[in-house]
Structure 1
């Protein structure tokens, strides 16, 4: 959906957008091609990186922001690849997603599928003021079976604590109107006992790690986080809480 949204956003009236879905050998291929603003050659190698956006996209409309980085993360999470092509400014762009085709078991084949990670029954409150990042984390957690409440501020998180009663708190550190450090400290007052908490932040230095631990976070993960690393960290905290 993000690829189509970008194509619409950056293609002027009278332009064309083509969407093609086809099977290519053992993969399913989705191609979104437009005749829009295109991508500068110097920016093309970095189009999927977080926190980068093309200068040509910032004049009258929002840039690409986190959107394409999140698309890439989700595609790779499902074992696929994504590529971008463009001849340059005002030459349009083509994004191609390739995903492995799902093999459907034969009728009568009843071997159970065992997932390496399972968050079923685990309630998680996640907090981040960046909507795209929040959507990504929620998607990943729900994909593994968790019950997720996602909010964009520390104040909203505190409002959720008494009713939602999360098993795990995941929070960004730098947020306007109340940061993650304050949130994890105040959370102790809103819940029975301490909620295991994970700081998920762009701050990677040892200084921030020490500060987050002193504030009450049990784990400190840096963005972008690998989904399996996040899930494994959640499970270790849940198991430690119950033991």
Structure 2
């Protein structure tokens, strides 16, 4: 069992969940990957939009966790790829965007649809809980009958 702050999580709570983490900060990518892999998620990381688009040619995530700002790259390239994948297979891929900016970053791209926006730094409890809620149906198929979450 893992205890992050006051949130109690059963190891394996994200079993079978495919996560693509796209962040230009290596420490952030590694932190997310370590945490989510420890909860049994299958995590692939990318350090750029270009790399993420290449990964999406062979990896279909259940959720995308993506920094919103990339120097010299547009997040729209990645989102267009996701939209094409969703149109092709009919499955919606939830997007959680993150940012270190406090000045309306997610408001600057109003036509981007995402499920959650997290301002860094944020609570890892909240982060995991949001992921769990976004992919709950997939998780339920694999693990929920064994999960007890205490609050």
TM-score of the two chains, using structure 1 as the length reference: 0.48
Q: Distance in 2 between matches of 1:220 and 1:185?
A: 19
**1:215-240 superposed Cα distances (whole Å, 9 cap, x missing partner):** 12111011112111111111111137
The number of aligned residues is: 133
Q: Distance in 2 between matches of 1:121 and 1:162?
A: 19
Q: Distance in 1 between matches of 2:96 and 2:27?
A: 19
Unpaired runs of 5+ residues, structure 1, are: 1-75, 80-113
Instruction: Give the conservation status (yes or no) of the 8 Å contact 2:68–2:106.
Output: no
Q: Distance in 1 between matches of 2:129 and 2:77?
A: 25
Q: 1:223 aligns with which of 111, 120, 124?
A: 120
Instruction: Give the conservation status (yes or no) of the 8 Å contact 2:24–2:47.
Output: yes
Query: What does residue 115 of structure 1 align with?
Result: 10
Instruction: Give the conservation status (yes or no) of the 8 Å contact 1:180–1:199.
Output: no
CA RMSD for the aligned pairs?
2.9
Residue 147 of structure 1 and its aligned partner are, at CA, apart by 0.4
Q: 1:171 aligns with which of 53, 66, 69?
A: 66
Structure 1 window deviating more from structure 2 (136-145 vs 209-218): it is: 209-218
Q: 1:198 aligns with which of 82, 96, 109?
A: 96
Moved over 6 A (4+): none
Unpaired runs of 5+ residues, structure 2, are: 140-151
Q: Which has the higher contact order (CA 8 A, sep 6+)?
A: 2
Instruction: Give the conservation status (yes or no) of the 8 Å contact 1:142–1:148.
Output: yes
Instruction: Give the conservation status (yes or no) of the 8 Å contact 2:95–2:115.
Output: yes
Structure 1 window deviating more from structure 2 (163-172 vs 190-199): it is: 190-199
Instruction: Give the conservation status (yes or no) of the 8 Å contact 1:173–1:181.
Output: no
Q: 1:155 aligns with which of 28, 35, 50?
A: 50
Residue 209 of structure 1 and its aligned partner are, at CA, apart by 3.3
Greater Rg, structure 1 or structure 2?
A: 1
Query: What does residue 40 of structure 2 align with?
Result: 145
- Given the alignment of the two structures, is residue 208 of structure 1 paired with residue 102 of structure 2, yes or no? no
